[in-house]
Chain A
Amino acid sequence: MKVSLNHLKELVETDISAVELSKLFNLHSSEVEETYQLVDATNLVVGYVTEKVKHPDADKLSVCQVDIGGEISQIVCGAPNVDKGQHVVVSKVGAVLAGGFKIKKSSIRGVESNGMICSLAELGIDKKFIYSDGIYVINEKCKPGDDPLSILSLEDEVMALDITPNRADLLSVMGVALDTSTILDVPLKFKVPEVKSIEKENPVTVKIETKNCYSYYARVIEDIVIKDSPNWMQSRLIAAGIRPINNIVDITNYVMIETGQPLHAFDYDLLGSDIIAVRMAYEGEEFTTLDEHKRKLTKEDIVITNGDKSVALGGVMGGFDTEIKEGSNRILLESAVFNPTNIRKTSKRLDLRSEASIRFERKIDPKRTILALNMAVSLFHKYANGKILKDYKFEDNIDYSEPVINTSTKQINDNLGTNLSTEEISDILRRLHFEHQINEEVLSVILPSRRQDMETYQDIVEEVGRIYGYDKLPLILPTTVSKGQLSESQIFIRNIKNKMTGLGLNEVLTYSLINEKRIDEFTKSKANFTKVASPMSIDRHVLTSSPLNGIIDVIKYNNARKNKDMFVFEVGKRYNEDEKIVLSGALTGLFSETNWQGTKEVVDFYTVKGILDSLFESLYLGHVEYEPMIDYKNLHPGQSAYIKDYSGVIGFIGKLHPEYAKSHSLKNVYVFELEVDKMLSSRRVLKKVKEINKFPEVSRDIAIVLDDSTTTKEVLDVIKKAGKRMLIKADVFDLYKGSPLDDNQKSLAISLTFSDTKRTLETKEVDQRVNEILGILKAKLKAELR
């Protein structure tokens, strides 16, 4: 809502500037987007063109002698419509026009020019409000040297309010005036329009045939003369962002801006009957609106008819067939109230938002329906020579009884945290123009009809709070005592993030919505998925089945920007599995490098596995195993594994399949994904400390040759079983393939550590145990001592 300060000051007693008022509105009423001068130009005067001759050296230029009040100024002008005998707007030398354009004394093709004769656009009026090109010719009575902005009523400030849905009352200058009066505690200057009607009867019959039209008032005006509306009205419409059209349309818009009540004027002679009947549209009914668009209606749209044919889309837009045009003589003026929900649906469905529909859908003040009608007809009389027929015709089903809200000083203070007295609160209500009664502790407030948003005592609290000033509220902390803490799983997830970053991985955050095509890139089987009904793009369409989908994009994005070494993780969700929380990650590139020493470590399967092992170790996950896996189509079948613990599979690790990697322009990327809840539930948290063994450890290294397809896990399982309690550790420290071994053979070197918690082991018994181990290795795995 853009408010002309001139208009506002006609309704409320103040001379405050827009800047000062906007500061107060921000704190007490509604957000102000901006304030500005309607015309932001200086050094303008009215000039009178006393002489115009053609420029000696330019066909399209004229050299004008202009009386600018006590002196004659020579000005070169390029506008074709400039002429001798005109009053024009002159920006003198030193003037600054819209956009910071400075006027200087100059010489145009050899002829001196002292200023410029202006068009409205050059003064900064938006082109959409202007009809004629060329300079503006003043028709009003004026003399050279006068201030043209004052003569054209363009000396105005605008305050642009950003109004929240509840404050529909601020969609009228009256509403803004009421709040101004409240904030400044100054009187209002509302006027009652005087209607001078003729004796002739109003022939119209109004019939409301739908419950969605609450009231309908109609008045007829005859013998109107269509012309431009007065300057002051045009400039107030321009200030409000509405394009002036002609006196009739401008008056209906002007009254709407002032009262918030939308009006519509029909050409009565084109109406085709003396009946106004309001009904719901028929399903599929066709109707052409003012903007010449043919619209298909539904039974949720309200239409105004002549008893047969629709003539307007109620509350949204008038009809093309009954539009006021040059030559219209009789008009029927409508002032009505419609069901906000229907208006909202209609304007939304047809994508047709008008100044009227915006107001109707937010609920207008039903008590201004007649006021607006009267205001408009009296303006028709004054500015369009109209004769007003006797009485308005109407049907009105509105219950005008005023609801009362009971609250109390205590309730208001409890909610705000203040200590206001009943008198202070009563005074704020007086300033708000809220009628109220005080009965001991009870405050009974009559809800004004302009505040259709107010329903409960909380609304009164809000009104008192904003006018008293939120800046005056004390600052205290809640007295509510409670235990503040993170849940076990929140702590666990934080712990995971701490460990992962400690292990060198960066956390990323990716979108949950992905392209449907990618939904099963990291699932074992065809994933089911959840799709949003109306996506913004095909790439943000379904909820992801793995954070890896987003992580792959992160790696691609970074690789394309030469960030080749990427180690990232995300704690995200599998949305297709009840929003299961998973830890996913990807690594690629050089994990460590000290160039000048010639050492570097390229990320491989075992880098990632090592990182995960450290993670598991630090999270009390003691028995995690890796099992070869071939079930994921986008993972390398020879370099992938399930990660398992007591409870079964908790996740997977693997290298991207070369084909998949290639299709994403990636190379050697290793990924993993782990289910957080499974990790949380299979922890074996330390309960009692383990005594440190005081007896010495004995080590023996063995090297065995065995079939290449035998896994290290199988070997270690056999060793651990055969080593019994005495064996406390078995670590692989070398792997060898090649000559002199056969192609299908490998050699593993394993370090065995033995100990006993109760005594020192003897060499002989250790050697015997090693022999037993070797014997079982040979028997079970055909492993030979090398």
Chain B
Amino acid sequence: MNVSEKLEAIKNEAKERISIIKSMHELNDAKAKYLGKKGMFNDVMKLMKDLPNEEKPMFGKLTNETKQIILKYIEEQRNLIEQAIIQEQLNKETIDVTLPGKKFLLGKKHLMTQIVEEIEDLFVGMGYQIMEGPEIETDENNFEKLNLPKDHPARDMQDTFYITNDTLLRTHTSPVQVRTMLEKGGKEPIKILCPGKVYRRDDDDATHSHQFMQIEGLVVDETTSMAELKGTLLEMANKMFGEGRKIRLRPSYFPFTEPSVEVDISCHNCNGKGCNICKGTGWIEVLGAGMVNNNVLEASGYDSTKYRGFAFGIGVERLAMLKYGINDIRQFYTNDIRFNSQFKK
């Protein structure tokens, strides 16, 4: 067997043996056996001294080539083994991804807060300030300054929780408007939104609550008109019930506004065709509004020959009930967590 045949035999043997190695440890042994200081090539190199000088370079080249090839076999096998190891790890680590995840609690804001914040944001965007005031109010702020003197028949419309003769639980958030007008001293325009809790002497049932949430709006300026009121209410209707609403104003009566109107919004459920939410009329009644009665402006220091105002008031629970088909107003106050957590915000 000549030298090149010998090298060929080593190469072939190496190829065969390396290809069946399964572990890194064996592969390292094999590398030492072939290419290490005491490896097989040591024996081969010993043959070199017996070769004629002119063949020595050829032999060296051939030997190096063979070493390189064997090294390549080893590296190829190393890749295969590494892949196999990773594959095995992956197999071992495979989980049932359909098992439930760990729960991270996220609470929900109360539906009343969600709606109030939504309406507040709309009006802040239109340049309104959000104003709040006390719930324990004076008869003067809650009634008298709103064109509801004692003995006014319309006081019967709002049965009141009195605390003393002169103090009461506010029946609407209008006293906040009175306070704001007094604060501004009749001198500057007003654009405010007043959300808050209000109280009426009602027996609690599916549609009545002795406590509820109201949002009122007030604009006072030298240019204010019914048309501006109508435009503003349409914005709110579109925000709360989706774009494309229509609004309808019907004559009504409130002591604090003149003209006074009831405001209907085209039904969001049936788009005006008539359904059980709008009781077949195509319209849902959502709020009351009007131009501020001059007596109200004057009582709070605004010159009614110069200034005009519009105001509107909306019951938030009623709005939510219409929007989500809720049939019992008490659900907002019992706070069954299965009810509250349906509103995800």
Q: Which residues of A contact B (CB under 8 A)?
A: 26-31, 164-167, 340-341, 344-345, 361-362, 414-418, 456, 458-459, 461-462, 465-466, 470-471, 473-487, 490, 494, 497, 500-513, 530-536, 540, 543, 554, 557-558, 561, 563, 566-569, 573, 575, 579, 591-594, 596-597
Contact = CB atoms under 8 A, between A and B. Distances in A.
A415 B249 contact: no
A600 to B, nearest CB: 10
B211 A511 contact: yes
Contact of A592 (B105, B136, B234, B235): B105
Secondary structure class of chain B's binding surface, majority of residues: mixed
A32 B130 CA distance: 36
Given A164-B252, A461-B259, A501-B108, A362 B153 contact: yes
A462 B226 CA distance: 10
Contacts of B338: 561, 563
B90 interface: no
Contacts of B151: 341, 344-345
Interface stretch (B3-11, B25-33, B41-49, B121-129): B121-129
B157 interface: yes
A361 B156 CA distance: 12
Nearest to A558: B337
B99 to A, nearest CB: 6
Contacts of B112: 509
Nearest to A30: B251
Contacts of B242: none
B124 A486 contact: yes
Given A554-B335, A591-B105, A509 B163 contact: no
B130 A470 contact: no
Nearest to A466: B251
Contacts of B169: 512, 532, 543
Given A416-B227, A474-B227, A510 B333 contact: yes
Given A164-B252, A484-B129, A507 B107 contact: yes
A165 B258 CA distance: 13
Interface in B203-231: 203-204, 210-211, 213, 219, 221, 223-228, 230-231
B259 A462 contact: yes
Contacts of B199: 512-513
B233 to A, nearest CB: 9
Interface residues of B, number: 84
Contacts of B123: 484
Contacts of A494: 117
B228 A417 contact: yes
20 contacts: A164-B260, A417-B226, A458-B294, A459-B258, A462-B251, A470-B250, A478-B219, A482-B189, A502-B107, A503-B105, A504-B105, A504-B107, A507-B107, A513-B199, A531-B163, A532-B162, A533-B161, A558-B336, A568-B335, A594-B102
Contacts of B201: 534, 536
Contacts of A511: 210-211, 333
A506 B191 contact: no
Contacts of A531: 163
Contacts of B124: 484-486
Contacts of A416: 225-227
B127 A506 contact: no
B221 A478 contact: yes
Given A557-B334, A563-B336, A575-B136, 20 more contacts: A164-B252, A415-B308, A417-B225, A456-B258, A458-B294, A462-B251, A462-B260, A465-B259, A470-B230, A470-B251, A473-B226, A474-B227, A475-B231, A480-B189, A500-B107, A506-B107, A534-B161, A536-B203, A563-B338, A594-B103
A187 B220 CA distance: 41
A490 B130 contact: yes
A530 B136 contact: yes
A324 to B, nearest CB: 31
B293 interface: yes
Interface of B: 99-100, 102-110, 112-113, 117, 120, 123-130, 132, 134-136, 151, 153-154, 157, 161-164, 169, 189, 191, 197, 199, 201-204, 210-211, 213, 219, 221, 223-228, 230-232, 234-235, 248-253, 258-262, 291, 293-294, 308, 332-338, 340-341
A165 B231 contact: no
Closest 3 CB pairs of A and B: A417-B227, A504-B105, A417-B225
B126 A513 contact: no
Contact of A476 (B120, B231, B337): B231
Nearest to A554: B335
A559 to B, nearest CB: 10
Contacts of B117: 494
Contact of B248 (A340, A471, A481, A558): A471
Given A28-B251, A575-B136, A592-B105, A532 B224 contact: no
Contacts of A540: 210
Contacts of B108: 501, 506-507
A483 B127 contact: yes
Nearest to A478: B228
B177 to A, nearest CB: 15
A614 to B, nearest CB: 12
A418 B226 CA distance: 9
Contacts of B219: 478, 480
Contacts of A568: 107, 335, 337
B105 to A, nearest CB: 3
Nearest to A27: B250
A299 to B, nearest CB: 16
Contacts of A481: 127
Contacts of A558: 335-337
Nearest to B126: A484
Given A31-B262, A470-B261, A480 B223 contact: yes
Nearest to A470: B249
B297 to A, nearest CB: 10
A416 B201 CA distance: 35
A501 B132 CA distance: 23
Contacts of B340: 506-508
A276 to B, nearest CB: 28
A475 B227 CA distance: 5
Contacts of B258: 456, 458-459, 461-462
Given A478-B191, A480-B219, A484-B129, A557 B225 contact: no
Q: Which of B126, B251, B332, B334 has the most CB of A within 10 A?
A: B251
B267 to A, nearest CB: 16
B228 A507 contact: no
A601 to B, nearest CB: 10
